[in-house]
């Protein structure tokens, strides 16, 4: 049961990181960084038009996959608790 709770915690932490990743890229660029490898030089940076939507689709698909895994684990945990119940 402890392992399942640890997995749930890691999934929830991953969901928060996925939601915060675009904000971290913008913050890194705003503070003079390269956007985690997105642009080596901001003044001469050329980003393809499909880069943003591709990143969006990738992050959304991972988000929904993690939500699906979370639901499966929660259903499994509920079934384990109902089997261990005295009622």
Residue corresponding to tokens 């901001």: 42
In this structure, is residue 21 part of a structural domain? yes
Give 41-69 pLDDT, tens digit per residue: 777 777 778 888 888 899 899 999 999 99
In this structure, is residue 56 part of a structural domain? yes
- Helix (H) or strand (E) run with residue 75 in it: helix 51-83
In this structure, is residue 87 part of a structural domain? no
Percent residues over pLDDT 90 in the chain: 34
pLDDT score recorded for residue 85:
63
pLDDT score recorded for residue 72:
94
d(CA 22, CA 55) in angstroms, rounded, equals 9
Global pTM exceeds 0.85: no
Structural domain that includes position 50: 2-82
d(CA 22, CA 7) in angstroms, rounded, equals 24
Total domains present in the chain = 1
In this structure, is residue 74 part of a structural domain? yes
Res. 87 pLDDT band, cuts 50 70 90: low
In this structure, is residue 11 part of a structural domain? yes
CA distances from residue 12 to 36, 62, 79, 81 in whole angstroms, order as listed: 23, 12, 21, 21
């Amino acid at each position: 049961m402890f392992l399942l709770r640890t997995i749930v915690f890691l999934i929830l932490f991953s969901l928060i990181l996925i939601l915060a990743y675009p904000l971290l890229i913008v913050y890194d660029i705003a503070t003079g960084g390269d956007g985690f490898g997105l642009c080596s030089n901001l003044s001469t940076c050329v980003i393809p038009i499909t880069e943003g939507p591709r990143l969006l689709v990738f992050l959304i698909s991972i988000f929904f996959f993690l939500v699906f895994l979370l639901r499966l684990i929660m259903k499994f945990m509920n079934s384990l608790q109902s089997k261990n119940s005295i009622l």
